[in-house]
Amino acid sequence: MSAVSVRGLRVGYPTGGGIVWAVDGVDLDIAEGESVGLVGESGCGKSTLGRGLLGLLPPGTRLAGSVSVGGTELSRLAPRQLRRLRGKELGLVFQEPMTRLDPLMRVSEHFDELLRTHERRLSRKARRARALEALRATGIPPSRYSQYPHEFSGGMRQRILIALTLVLRPSLVVADEPTTALDVLVEAQILTLLADLRRQTGSSLLLITHNLGIVAEACDRIAVMYAGRIVEQGSSRQVFDSPAHPYTRELLRSTISLGTTELHSIPGAPPDLADPPAGCRFSPRCPDVMRACPDLDPGNVVLPTGQQVSCWLHRLSDLTPAQREPLVREEVAVADEA
């Protein structure tokens, strides 16, 4: 059963030049207790998608499509009803915890305010017990309950944010770059902590990151996002072992590992979302681009492995011989000069 079901989600920001659709027609499912890694380059729409799921968008933002969490269609809820769901059913772990914790409030006050807002029936003693339970689960001793945020390290503050999210036991947790600015050892600890808590509480997790490497162990499935759209979905093993989309392959080639002998980057830059290509949005940068790619949207195809991919390479039978002919960049450049 899906804890989260997203269909045709579009999120647009009004600008002087028109609406920029940062998320443009996304379909995504997250099962109960499942962890999904949402990866891609900076600016591809990952954070906007995460906030769109929670309804945390700036005033004036255009929103279309369907988002269902636990069978409840969020688009049909009034703002007050949606606010009640946040925290209790929908949790968000922000990046950069020092900017999210009030420096003038003790850790105990952060927890007490949150629980008084969402769990009004709890007594003060019960609120304290719930808070200490959440802190213990994230490895913070009760003796530090009354300290201020500045008395903690960056990694410990991130643990506090995770505890604040999980103290209400939400059914969905969106973790937006939760390891930003942390060293690799603390990063590994935070990811392990999220995975352990998910298994203990049964919460579903959407982990947003630009780094493919950190989702390999922490996530059951991976969704690869490019220019506002999800171009590939599959289990972590499938995506890492047999990437189906050229963009996914290029991302994996750009990941640094112990076996890396030379650096690799994807040439070019993502398209301007104010005027994206009519067809595949990765086509201007794709090493396997064909004649059909810039003009015809490939749609989504389900492979025998179960992976979903949006690429003409997996729909060659639908193309004419002329459309299948590869367009090698050097040949195009020579033709343009002539």
Q: What is the secondary structure of 43-100 as a DSSP string? A: TSSHHHHHHHHHT---TT-EEEEEEEETTEEGGGS-HHHHHHHBTTTEEEE-SSGGGT
Q: For residue 95, tell me if it sits in a domain.
A: yes
Domain of residue 71, CATH code: 3.40.50.300
**Is 237 in the same domain as 211?**
no
Alpha carbons 320 and 255: distance in angstroms, whole number: 35
- Position 211 scores a pLDDT of 76
**Is 95 in the same domain as 211?**
yes
Q: For residue 97, tell me if it sits in a domain.
A: yes
Q: For residue 85, tell me if it sits in a domain.
A: yes
**Is 87 in the same domain as 15?**
yes
CB atoms within 10 A of CB 264: 12
Domain that holds residue 49: 2-227
Alpha carbons 295 and 105: distance in angstroms, whole number: 55
**Is 172 in the same domain as 295?**
no
From the first residue on, what is the mean pLDDT of each consecutive set of 10 residues in the chain (338 residues)? 88 91 95 93 92 89 91 85 83 78 94 92 94 90 94 89 88 86 76 80 88 82 96 95 95 80 87 91 94 92 94 88 64 43
- Position 338 scores a pLDDT of 42
**Is 73 in the same domain as 196?**
yes
Total-model pTM: 0.88
Q: For residue 273, tell me if it sits in a domain.
A: no
**Is 305 in the same domain as 180?**
no
**Is 50 in the same domain as 178?**
yes
Distance in angstroms between the alpha carbons of the first and the last residue of the chain: 58
- Position 9 scores a pLDDT of 96
Q: For residue 173, tell me if it sits in a domain.
A: yes
Q: For residue 272, tell me if it sits in a domain.
A: no
- Position 84 scores a pLDDT of 81
| Number of domains comprising the chain | 2
